[in-house]
Structure 1
Amino acid sequence: MRRRRFLASVAVAATLPLAGCSDPRGSVRLTDVSDDTALAKQWATPIDALSDSYRDLVVGAVEDDAERATVTDTNPPFEPPNPIEYERSYYDVGYEVTNERTQTQYGVESTFDPDPPPERTVAYADLPAVDRAKLDRILDPDTARDSGEAFGIGVRYTDAEAGESVVVPEPEYDGVTREGATFGIAVRDSREVTVADYRYRADLLAADAAGVAAVARERFQFSFDGLPSDQRALLDEAKGDEVESEDPPSEAFVALVERFRAHDAVELDPYFGGEWLLRDGGADWWADVRFPESMRGE
Structure 2
Amino acid sequence: MRRREFLATGTALCSIAVAGCAHPDVVLDMDDASSDDIAYEVSMSPDPGSEEYRVVTSAIENGSATRSGRYDLFDRTDTVRVDDAFYAVTETRLGSGEVTVYEVLVDVDPDDTSPDRGEIRYDDLPATDRERLDVVFSEDPPSGQDGYDAGVSYGTAEEVGNGSAFVPEQRYDIVVHDGDRYRVGVESRDANESEYRYEVTRVAPDLSTFADQVRDRYLFALTGLSDAERSVVEGAIDGGHFEDSDAFQSVIDRIRDHEGLNEDDFYGTWLVAYEGDEYLAYAEW
TM over 0.5: yes
Give the superposition deviation at 1:167: 4.2
| Corresponding residue of 1:116 | 113
Closer/same/farther in 2, CA of residues 69 and 290 from structure 1, 3 Å limit:
same
Distance 1:141 1:242 in 2: 38
| Corresponding residue of 1:101 | 97
Distance 1:234 1:86 in 2: 38
Give the superposition deviation at 1:259: 1.4
Closer/same/farther in 2, CA of residues 150 and 223 from structure 1, 3 Å limit:
closer
Distance 1:42 1:15 in 2: 17
Answer whether contact 2:101 2:189 (CA < 8 A) is retained: yes
| Corresponding residue of 1:87 | 83
| Corresponding residue of 1:277 | 271
Closer/same/farther in 2, CA of residues 162 and 101 from structure 1, 3 Å limit:
farther
| Corresponding residue of 2:72 | 76
> Do residues 185 (structure 1) and 184 (structure 2) align?
yes
Distance 1:109 1:242 in 2: 44
Give the superposition deviation at 1:100: 1.2
Partner amino acid for 2:190? E
Bigger drift between 258-267 and 154-163 goes to: 154-163
Answer whether contact 1:25 1:244 (CA < 8 A) is retained: no
Partner amino acid for 1:92? A
Closer/same/farther in 2, CA of residues 183 and 210 from structure 1, 3 Å limit:
same
Answer whether contact 2:28 2:240 (CA < 8 A) is retained: yes
| Corresponding residue of 1:57 | 52
Distance 1:134 1:78 in 2: 28
Q: How does 1:1-298 map to 2 (within 5 A)?
A: 14-19=5-10, 22-33=22-33, 38-44=34-40, 50=46, 53-54=49-50, 56-64=51-59, 71-81=67-77, 83-111=79-107, 115-121=112-118, 133=128, 136-138=131-133, 143-145=138-140, 150-157=149-156, 167=166, 171-175=170-174, 183-187=182-186, 189-224=187-222, 226-235=224-233, 237-238=234-235, 240-246=237-243, 249-271=244-266, 273-281=267-275, 283-291=276-284, 295=285
Answer whether contact 2:129 2:165 (CA < 8 A) is retained: no
Closer/same/farther in 2, CA of residues 225 and 158 from structure 1, 3 Å limit:
same
Answer whether contact 2:103 2:152 (CA < 8 A) is retained: yes
Give the superposition deviation at 1:144: 3.3
Distance 2:185 2:229 in 1: 62
Give the superposition deviation at 1:279: 3.4
TM-score by length of 2: 0.69
Q: Per the alignment, in what secondary structure is the counterpart of residue 244 of structure 1?
A: coil
TM-score by length of 1: 0.67
Give the superposition deviation at 1:107: 3.8
What value does the CA root-mean-square deviation take over the aligned residues?
4.5
Closer/same/farther in 2, CA of residues 234 and 47 from structure 1, 3 Å limit:
closer
Flag structure 2 segments of 5+ consecutive residues without an equivalent.
13-21
Answer whether contact 2:154 2:160 (CA < 8 A) is retained: no
Give the superposition deviation at 1:72: 3.5
Answer whether contact 2:45 2:80 (CA < 8 A) is retained: no
Query: How many residue pairs end up in the alignment?
Result: 268
Distance 1:49 1:159 in 2: 27
Distance 2:207 2:235 in 1: 26
Q: Deviations over 1:110-162 (max 9, x none)?
A: 345854231532658998x8xx6467523789523479974323444359989
Answer whether contact 2:113 2:183 (CA < 8 A) is retained: no
Give the superposition deviation at 1:211: 0.8
Give the superposition deviation at 1:258: 1.3
Give the superposition deviation at 1:80: 4.3
Partner amino acid for 2:213? V
Answer whether contact 1:28 1:287 (CA < 8 A) is retained: no
Answer whether contact 1:69 1:199 (CA < 8 A) is retained: yes
